[in-house]
Chain A
C-alpha cells in the first residue's frame, strides 16, 4: 500500500511564513526556511504544521 503524501503550502506557526512542502508524509519533520523552527506535518488535508518539540537552550545565560 502506497504511503500517502501531499504537496502545497502551509503556514509556519512560529513566524507565519508560507512554507512550501513537496510530497511530505504525515508526522514528517521539516524546517521553516525563514525562522528555522522544526515543524511537524500534523495533517495532509489540509496541510497543517505544528511546532515540533525542541530542546530548549539558554545559551549559557
Chain B
C-alpha cells in the first residue's frame, strides 16, 4: 500500500479527496490536517465518511513522512511552504492554483500579486491528464486544475488540437457554476436567503481560470483572446461551460465530429454527448455529481462558422479531487481509473 496524507482536508475538495482515497485499493490514508479542527474526528466535518474512517484531524506541524502528499490548502499558501512540504513526500499533488501556471507573470496578471516561489513552477506538471498524460507519468509534482478552466479547456480542446480555431475571432465562454465552487467558508453573500435561487454573475470578466485556458491553448500554438464569464446558479455541485468558438472557413460538421472523436475516443473519463435520442441530449452536470466524468458536446452553426462547445463536470470531482486522484494514478503507474469508477446517479 502507498501511504497518503492530505494537508488541508477540512474543505470540500479535501473531503472529496479523502472520500476517494479511503476507497482506493492501493492507498492507505495516514494523516489529514486541519489547524482549526485539530483533534476532531473527520466524520463530523465530512459526515458522508461516518463508519468509513476513525481518522482525526491533526495540525500540519504533526504531519509525518508519507509516499504521496495531497495539498488542499487555500490559494497562496503552498507556494510559501513548498520547500518544507517537499521533504515530507516524494510525490505531491497540489490542488490549489499555486503551481498551475508555467509563466510566473500570470500570477501578477490573474491573481493580483507575484508568485513568491517561481523557481518551483517548472517542477510541476499541470494536472489535466487529457493534455499532459505523458509528462504526468514521470512527474513528482503535479498541480491541481481550476474547475472552470477544466470545463472550458475540455470543451474547446478538440478544436484547438485539430487546428480548426479561427484565432482572429476569439473565444467566448460562459460557465454556470454551483455553490460548492465557493468553498466551505461562508460569507454574507452565501447566507441561504441571499444565495438560494440566484443566477448571480460573479465574474463577468477577469476570471482567474482564464489563465489556465490560455496556457492550454498555447500547447497547440493557438494564441487568441479568451473571454470567460462565470455565473453562479442554484446547484451545489456542477459546472456547465458553453464556449463559442469560431472555426476556419470551410470547416464542416463532419470535421468537428472528427476532432472530438480524435481527442476523446480513448479518454477514460471524457464522453461525447450529442444525441438525437434520450433524456439528456447535451452535457448535463446534474447526472455527473460524484463522478469523474466530463461530458462534452457541440453544435455547429455553418452560417457563422460558430461551434458551441459544451462541457459538464462535477467541479469537486473532474474539476478538483477526481482529476487529482486520476493524476496520482498516472504518476504511480496504476490504472488511471482506480478509485474513480463511480458513474454518478440517475435520477438525482
Contact = CB atoms under 8 A, between A and B. Distances in A.
A38 B258 contact: no
Contacts of B81: none
Nearest to B261: A17
A16 B274 CA distance: 12
Number of contact residues on A: which range applies?
Answer: 10 to 19
B301 interface: no
A35 B274 contact: yes
Interface string B244-280: 0000000001100110010000000000101111100
Interface in A10-29: 14-17
Contacts of A34: 272
A16 to B, nearest CB: 5
B113 to A, nearest CB: 44
A36 B275 contact: yes
Nearest to B260: A15
B275 A35 contact: yes
B257 A16 contact: yes
Interface in A30-55: 31-32, 34-38, 54
Contacts of B276: 14, 32, 35-38, 54
Contacts of B278: 36
B348 to A, nearest CB: 19
Contacts of A15: 257, 274
Nearest to A31: B277
Contacts of B275: 35-36
Contacts of A54: 276
Contacts of B281: 36
Contacts of B254: 16
Contacts of B261: 17
A11 B185 CA distance: 52
Interface of A: 14-17, 31-32, 34-38, 54
Given A36-B281, A54-B276, 15 more contacts: A15-B257, A15-B274, A16-B257, A16-B258, A17-B257, A32-B276, A35-B274, A35-B276, A36-B275, A36-B276, A36-B277, A36-B278, A37-B276, A37-B277, A38-B277
16 contacts: A15-B257, A16-B253, A16-B254, A16-B258, A17-B257, A17-B261, A31-B277, A34-B272, A35-B275, A35-B276, A36-B275, A36-B276, A36-B277, A36-B278, A38-B276, A38-B277
